[in-house]
Amino acid sequence: MAIPGLRLRLPPMPIAAERIRTSAGTALLAREATADDLTAVNDLHNRCSAQTLLSRYHAGRNRLTVAEWDRMVDPAQGRTLVLTDPTEVVGYANVLRTAPAGPAEVSLLLRDDWQGAGVGRAIGGHLIRVARRLGFTDLVAWTEPDNVRAIALLRGVGARPDGHEPGVICWALDLNRC
């Protein structure tokens, strides 16, 4: 019997790098992240505002640990993509399993000066295609109630509110219905 939510073993196939364009036409490259990207990703964190980091982590975080990053780049967990401009990392996004038979969680972080230019919309669509290729059928994302960009992005792809915890809304997206 198929387990709803995802396959237990994710396919090990590589995800081809994708060119993402801002609304002004500037190109960014979204490529699969590796363990070696942690230093650049933590440098990205150093260059994000406290509000942006709070919106991503819903807590006062300003770096990722080696253990956290190792899990994010483990293909058995899903995929993490880094966005480069192309000389530096200006964002990262991931779709990662939550529990063995649960939905996958989608998260995005863009440096402040790249926000509001259509990158989130483009990388969100790409992440959904990646999630489908990996066999995920249900996605979740967490936002603060006043995160207008993330909420517009989620509503735009058909996600709906599916519960909340103090200060954060859970959004659910059924990939068979969008």
Ligand X SMILES: CC(C)(COP(=O)(O)OP(=O)(O)OC[C@H]1O[C@@H](n2cnc3c(N)ncnc32)[C@H](O)[C@@H]1OP(=O)(O)O)[C@@H](O)C(=O)NCCC(=O)NCCS
Binding residue (CB under 6 A) for ligand X from 41, 72, 110, 134: 110
* Alpha-carbon gap, residue 17 to 86, rounded angstroms: 12
3-state secondary structure of 54: helix
| Nearest position to ligand X, beta carbon | 120
Structural tokens at position 116? 């509001």
Binding residue (CB under 6 A) for ligand X from 5, 28, 38, 55: 55
Asked if omega into 166 is within 30° of 0 (cis), the reply is no
3-state secondary structure of 25: coil
Binding residue (CB under 6 A) for ligand X from 145, 156, 158, 167: 156
* Alpha-carbon gap, residue 33 to 131, rounded angstroms: 15
With contacts defined by CB under 6 A, name the span among 4-12, 30-38, 118-126, 128-136 that binds ligand X. 118-126
State how far Cα 6 lies from the chain centre: 17
**Residue closer to ligand X (CB basis): 55 or 137:** 55
- The helix-helix angle for 148-156 and 119-134 (nearest 10°) equals 50
**Residue closer to ligand X (CB basis): 8 or 129:** 129
83 scored as a contact of ligand X (CB under 6 A)? no
Binding residue (CB under 6 A) for ligand X from 83, 119, 139, 159: 119
**Residue closer to ligand X (CB basis): 80 or 107:** 107
79 scored as a contact of ligand X (CB under 6 A)? no
152 scored as a contact of ligand X (CB under 6 A)? yes
**Residue closer to ligand X (CB basis): 7 or 105:** 105
Structural tokens at position 63? 């770096």
Write the CB contacts of 69 (distance below 8 Å, at least 6 apart in sequence).
35, 37, 38, 41
Strand partners, 83: 30, 91
How many binding residues for ligand X (CB under 6 A)?
23
List interacting residues with ligand X (CB under 6 A): 52, 55-56, 107-110, 115-121, 141, 143, 147-150, 152-153, 156
